[in-house]
Structure formats: structure tokens, C-alpha cells
Structure 1
Amino acid sequence: MARKKIIAGNWKMNKTPSEAVALVNELKPLVASDEVDVVFCVPAISIIPCMEAAKGSNINIGAENMYFEENGAYTGEIAPNMLTDVGVKYVIIGHSERREYFAETDETVNKKVKKAFEHNITPIVCCGESLTQREQGVTIDFIRQQIKIAFLDVSAQQAATAVIAYEPIWAIGTGKVATTEQAQEVCAAIRVCISEIYDQATADAIRIQYGGSVSASSAPELFAQADIDGGLVGGASLKPDFGKIVNYK
């Protein structure tokens, strides 16, 4: 069975709630597609108004992060049931910016992944190497380590429904894009890693995105690759161009 493409926008720390609603309304007609799953991962404060704005459209509103506890004294954090209560079905976990600026580790990513599955939220699990790691030839080894720890104690049934986003750190917001061959090579290696952890059926089911300066011009070639099942899009998801990425064919 062919995997349905999933194209997600990561809005990061951009747009006030009123600006976010305006952007959802602007993008709604531009991202209309039955062929791909469309997700806007927005700042927590904008989730509820964006949910309202997206009603009746094909847009899923997702979260950019969540904590791995149910409740408690974790000032500033958001629990999974807070997300499910308003209808969130997707959450980005382990983005390189979270790892770099907020001290997230492979272990905390794993805790969040397991907690997301407990609450029937689909995790978009991020992985990616730095420029130094790329230049030293350890990209695949490093990515395999990130994936293996992220999916520790996750069942095959759960893993099959997950989304993995491969984002080379050196290509995020830099305008540099991995070549199509580089992106496909790593996404294929991720699928092999999943087949080793679980089985081929799970590897065939899981959706793997490429992210890192994806544009309307680079999307068609990237998304045509055998192991690239869509994109996690940063800056371009805040512009009308996102419609061209969603309707890349």
C-alpha cells in the first residue's frame, strides 16, 4: 500500500494568535488537497484559535512540543491531555532547536514519544546531523542512534503510525538544501533502521519526511523519492508558497 504523503508546517515562534488565524484563513484555499495530509504545527497559545479557523478544512492543527508527564509542577509546560482535549492529533518531538536551546536529549525525546502514543497523538520525531557530523562521515551512525533511542520500548504497532522528520541541522533556515540524493540516502537508512528494530512491514508503513529549507521549487523532486513521504517545512510554511509545496505535483 502506498504511503500517503504528510506535509507539515512548523511555525516555530512566529505569529501572534490573531496573525495565526489570519494566516490559516489565507492558506486554507491554497493547501486544499485530498492527496496529502496537511498539518500546521503552531505555537501553543495559537492552537485553539487556529483549530477554530481550520474547521471544515483539510488542515490538522498540531503542537510544536509537549511534556512527558500527565500533570504537575512543571511551570510553562503542556501536558498531552491538554492537547487531546482540544483535538490535537500531531506533535513535533525532538526538533534540533529544542535539543540545542532547551537541552532536550535522546532520552527525553523517547519519553515524549511514548507519552504521545499513550494519548493517541502522532509524534513527528525529528532527527538530523550537524555540519561537522556530515563532514566527518558519521551522519548515518548518528541518525541511527537518534532513531533507536527515540523508539525504545515503542511497539511495532505504534511505530507504524509515527512520522519521522529527517532535518539536517546545517540546512534548517540556512537556505542550504541537502541534495535530493543526500536526503533520499538518509531517509532510506532510517527505513532500514526501523526494519531492523521491528520488521519490514513496520518500516514500509512509517512515514519519513525531509525538512530543511524545503521550497516550492525543491519539493517535487524531493517528494518523488522512494523513501521521502513529505516534508516538515519551516519558513515557507508561513507564506502562500506553502500551498505550492502541498500541491507539489
Structure 2
Amino acid sequence: MDRKFTIVANWKANKTVAGAQEWIKRLAESGKQIESESMTIEVVVAAPYPLLNALRSTPDATLASQDISMFSVGAYTGEVPGELLKDVGVEYCLVGHSERRKYLGETTEMVGKKVDQAIKNKIIPIICAQSGEEIPENVRNYSPEQYLIMYEPFEAISTEGKYHPEDPNKITETLQDWQKHLPAGVQFLYGGSVNSNNVHQILATSNQQLVSGFVVGHASLDPEEFFSIIKRCLLTPSL
């Protein structure tokens, strides 16, 4: 086993406790770590805050939050700090997702503070960026294994799972450019309307050694669709 591939199910503002538990039950049939001869796939579930505690005991997926406070514990009404996320079993967290930047006015400076809080609490931040300018400067203060970076090109974003087939051609060029300005060894995930119909094309078109996984949004809500993405990754030659 010489490679780890991370696939994140970003449920966004979806699912009840019962629905989440049923999804996890279906996942248990395939197992948390799905292996081929050359790689292991780690399944990560980024669930809404109310579901985190209900999912904390599952051995079948690694738990992620969809955000983290830029503050530590204290008088910050409505915030969920890293200390509390870690206490319910969170190992990863999304930071700087395009929807938070668009709808909530989140800035790259704020994202940098969230990165600090995540790493302080031994949570791996998945830093979401549409351009190199959205990657906070302070990531250079940390070793590459302490964080992941997700590339989500603006053109590929869709709430309906639609996808523009020409987008994968930009992945290699973009990530190679980002590599020039980041510490050696940084791992990149790809997000942007990933589904079972286009995942093979994304992998075939991009430099597979640059892409270490996916963040799946709309398509992750259906467990069968999500598992199809995993299977197609395992069947992709040279992955």
C-alpha cells in the first residue's frame, strides 16, 4: 500500500440525525478504509454541527466539521471553537469554503485565524481556495502534513452537481503554480461538482500525482452515488 487518497463527503446544510445514521450504516458495509493493491481511500464525513456528536462513535468514517471558530473558548455566542470540536471527535475541518466567503463575508484573514485554531487543537484544516490569493500566508508556518488544500475552481461550482468538462485541464497548471509558493509536500484535494460521471475524467485529465483526493458536495448526499465515486477512483489506472 503506497498511497493514501482522501475523499470527503461535504453534506453542507443537509441530513437529520436519522438520515446521517442510515448513511453511515450503508458506509459500514464497505468499510472506512477501502483498499486496492496500490492505495487506501480514507472516507471523511463533513457533517453539520448538530450531527457531530451523533456520529462520533462510528468506526467507519473520519469525522470533519464544516467550519471552526477563529476564537478559542470564551464569550463568543454562536461560535464553535476547536476545543469543543476536538472533544466530539473531529479530526478534520473545512475552512474558507466558497459558500462561506460568498454568503457570510468570510475573508482570507479570517481563514488564516481558523487555520491557527484548527492546528492548535490537532485538527487538520482543509483550506478551500479558488485562487492562490485565497490561501492564507500563515500556512507557511506549519509543516505540510498539518493541513490540506482544496482547489475549487469558480467555473466548476454548482449546487446541482453539474460540471463543466473542460475544467480538469486547468487542475495541473493551477496546482503546479501553487506548489511554487508553498512548502514542498503539500497535498491537494479537488472540489467542484465531483460525481461518479466525471470523477474518472478529472483523474484522467489532471496530473494524478498532484491530486490526493476529492471534496464531494451534492453527490455525497446519496450513499450509492458517493460509493460509486470511491469505486471509480479505485478502478482508475495508475492512481
Q: Shorter-chain-normalised TM-score: which range? A: 0.7 to 0.9
TM-score, length basis structure 1? 0.82
Alignment pair present for 1:44 and 2:49: yes
Cα drift, residue 235 of structure 1? 0.7
Partner deviation per Cα, 1:72-102 (whole Å, 9 max, x = no partner):
2222110101011121110000000011111
Match of 2:10 in 1: 10
TM-score, length basis structure 2? 0.85
Contact residue 127 and residue 166 of structure 1 kept, 8 A: yes
% identity of equivalent residues: 32
**Counterparts of 1:31 and 1:209 in 2: how far apart (Å)?**
21
Match of 1:139 in 2: none
Alignment pair present for 1:176 and 2:163: yes
Q: Which residue identity lines up with residue 188 of structure 2 in the other structure?
A: I
5+ residue gaps in structure 2? none
More displaced 10-residue stretch of structure 1: 221-230 or 101-110: 221-230
Alignment RMSD, CA only?
Answer: 2.0
**Counterparts of 2:229 and 2:31 in 1: how far apart (Å)?**
8
Cα drift, residue 153 of structure 1? 6.0
Match of 2:213 in 1: 230
Aligned residues: 221
Match of 1:132 in 2: none
Q: 178, 192, 211: which one pairs with 1:212?
A: 192
Q: 142, 146, 155: which one pairs with 2:141?
A: 155
**Which aligned runs of 4 or more in structure 1 are off by greater than 3 angstroms?**
none
**Counterparts of 1:25 and 1:115 in 2: how far apart (Å)?**
32
**Counterparts of 2:3 and 2:202 in 1: how far apart (Å)?**
15
Cα drift, residue 104 of structure 1? 0.5
Alignment pair present for 1:115 and 2:117: yes
Contact residue 48 and residue 86 of structure 1 kept, 8 A: yes
Contact residue 156 and residue 167 of structure 2 kept, 8 A: no
Match of 1:137 in 2: none
Alignment pair present for 1:246 and 2:230: yes
Contact residue 165 and residue 211 of structure 1 kept, 8 A: yes
Partner deviation per Cα, 1:4-57 (whole Å, 9 max, x = no partner):
2111011100011221111111233246404112101000000111223x22x2
Contact residue 163 and residue 194 of structure 2 kept, 8 A: no
5+ residue gaps in structure 1? 129-142
Cα drift, residue 156 of structure 1? 4.0
Which one has the bigger helix percentage? 1
Match of 1:134 in 2: none
Q: Which residue identity lines up with residue 69 of structure 1 in the other structure?
A: F
Q: Which has the higher contact order (CA 8 A, sep 6+)?
A: 1
Contact residue 46 and residue 66 of structure 2 kept, 8 A: yes
Q: Which residue identity lines up with residue 194 of structure 2 in the other structure?
A: V
Q: Which residue identity lines up with residue 19 of structure 2 in the other structure?
A: E
